Amino acid sequence: MKRATITAVLAAVLAAGAAPVMAQGAGNDAGLKAAVKADYDANLGALFDHFHRNPELSGLEVQTAARMAQELRALGYEVTTGVGGTGVVAVLRNGAGPTVMIRADMDGLPVEEKSGLANASTVRQVDSDGVEKPVMHACGHDVHITALVGTARQMQARKANWSGTLVLVAQPAEERIFGARAMVEDGLYSRFPKPDYALAFHVSADTPTGRIGVPLDITSSSSDSVDIAVHGVGTHGASPHLGVDPILVASHIVVALQSLRSRETSPLEGAVVTVGAIRGGIKHNIISDRVDLQLTVRADSPEVRAQLLDGIDRVARNTALAMGVPDDKLPTVVRSKLENTPPTINDAETATRVRAALTAGLGEEVLIDKPRGGMGAEDFAYFVTPESGVKGVYFRVGGTPADQADSAPGHHSGLFRITPEPAVTLGIEGSVLAAEALMPRD
């Protein structure tokens, strides 16, 4: 499409977006829908394609961040880059009123894409550990950042509908759950307007397109990465009595850890302790002197989280003692200071306001109340901690046609695929309506 034609189309987009929101209860903001559709056809479809073909790993989103900054500056936002690493912050001031922050995560995963799509990623990138890996947007973050640009355009066009300050955040390293914390530690809430409300959405492969889920309480579990080094005394495999076998000790620890969930935690509480990796040993007939375990720990409350983490320390130490490990060789348990996040819990009152705005603008049928199917984590929690005073709403947007949603490949799979247009456009519509509801113009 020629540049002049694009300009004309975008002018129409802005004109459509500037139309006032329809009356409450109309169930259809036709002006918004038309504007978003036009924007997708003229700009966002190609932008999504670019992001999908060019994913970057956590903390290394240099080109993605540069493109986000470029797009947001072109829309008249005050843009700052390099926040918390590669994070981008864009501010739009529109008179007195609340401050609303909208966040989109932008990192990909070290997964080889096998979706069969024409725009499948073939990118490889050297990760922070020095190892070259395939990279794929296997969790839909390309949808999120594309929608953030679309939301930025609509909020600029619809300034007559809201009053306050809008802060847009393109966040790095959500997949490794340290990007949000890094941005907060780099002054997100002191260098920029601190939000009264924070919004974010995640596209969901097992949710039908055209539907949005807005929980009134917990949306994601806490997550902690824990490493356990199990030490032993090496010896010949034919003479095990002359050493202390760390593989046997580690095996008992793995089994004993499951009692933390099954016998020490209420069955009504969410809790998971998963040993995701065991590495140890040298050869068939050698008893080594070390085994390494890697764990992920999930909980739905701070109390259960602390209970599980303290329990891991206790089980590792006491299992080793019971099996004769010397005091100077007891297991070393390390909780990652980088990869951890508390649970993400929506503010019920704010979520109720968002749900009302979505049904008013998109119709009653847009909402879907679907129970969580697992204990996934999300570092959006760092933006809405109780001590921050920021009220958060994290919602999910359908990404797969209804007749395919039940069989859709899961997130983080090389087969993962999203139907981009309905996911991006509904993500924009939901974000705009939610933000406007939280920053009403008197």
CATH topology of domain 222-341: Alpha-Beta Plaits (3.30.70)
Q: What does the pLDDT read at residue 410?
A: 94
Counting every residue written for the chain, the total comes to 442
The answer, yes or no, to whether residue 4 has pLDDT greater than 80, is no
> Do 383 and 184 contact (CB within 8 A), yes or no?
yes
Structure tokens, 180: 């949000």
Q: In the structure, what pLDDT confidence band is assigned to residue 72 with cuts at 50, 70 and 90?
A: very high
One-letter amino acid at 232 equals G
Query: 1.10.3720.10, 1.20.120.1630, 3.90.1150.10, 3.40.630.10: which CATH number matches 30-220+343-439?
Result: 3.40.630.10
* Burial 234-247, CB ≥16 within 10 A → b, else e: ebeeeeeeebbbbe
Tens digit of pLDDT for each residue in 312-364?
999 999 999 999 999 999 999 999 999 999 999 999 999 999 999 999 999 99
Tens digit of pLDDT for each residue in 234-253?
999 999 999 999 999 999 99
Instruction: Give the C-alpha separation, 435 to 155, whole Å.
Output: 9
Q: What does the pLDDT read at residue 8?
A: 43
The 3-class secondary structure across the chain, one letter per residue, is: CCHHHHHHHHHHHHHHHCCCCCCCCCCCCHHHHHHHHHHHHHHHHHHHHHHHHCCCCCCCCHHHHHHHHHHHHHCCCEEEEEECCCEEEEEEEECCCCEEEEEEECCCECCCCCCCCCCCCCCEEECCCCCEEECECCCCHHHHHHHHHHHHHHHHHCHHHECEEEEEEEECCCCCCCHHHHHHHCCHHHHCCCCCEEEEEEEEEEEECCCEECCCCEEEEEEEEEEEEEECECEECCCHHHCECHHHHHHHHHHHHCHHHHCCCCCCCCEEEEEEEEEECCCCCEECCEEEEEEEEEECCHHHHHHHHHHHHHHHHHHHHHCCCCHHHCCEEEEEEEEEECCEECCHHHHHHHHHHHHHHHCHHHECCCCCCCCCECHHHHHCCHHHCCEEEEEEEEEECCCCHHHCCCCCCCCCCCCHHHHHHHHHHHHHHHHHHHCECC
Residues of the chain with CATH 3.30.70.360: 222-341
Residues of the chain with CATH 3.40.630.10: 30-220+343-439
The answer, yes or no, to whether residue 186 has pLDDT greater than 70, is yes
Q: What does the pLDDT read at residue 27?
A: 56
Backbone angles phi and psi of 316, in degrees to 5? -65, -45
Instruction: Give the C-alpha separation, 256 to 261, whole Å.
Output: 10
Mean pLDDT across the chain: 94
Tens digit of pLDDT for each residue in 23-46?
333 457 889 999 999 999 999 999
> Do 54 and 108 contact (CB within 8 A), yes or no?
no
Binding-site residues from annotation: 139, 141, 175, 202, 412
Q: What does the pLDDT read at residue 20?
A: 42
Percent over 90 (pLDDT), the chain = 92
Binding-site residues from annotation for Mn(2+): 139, 141, 175, 202, 412
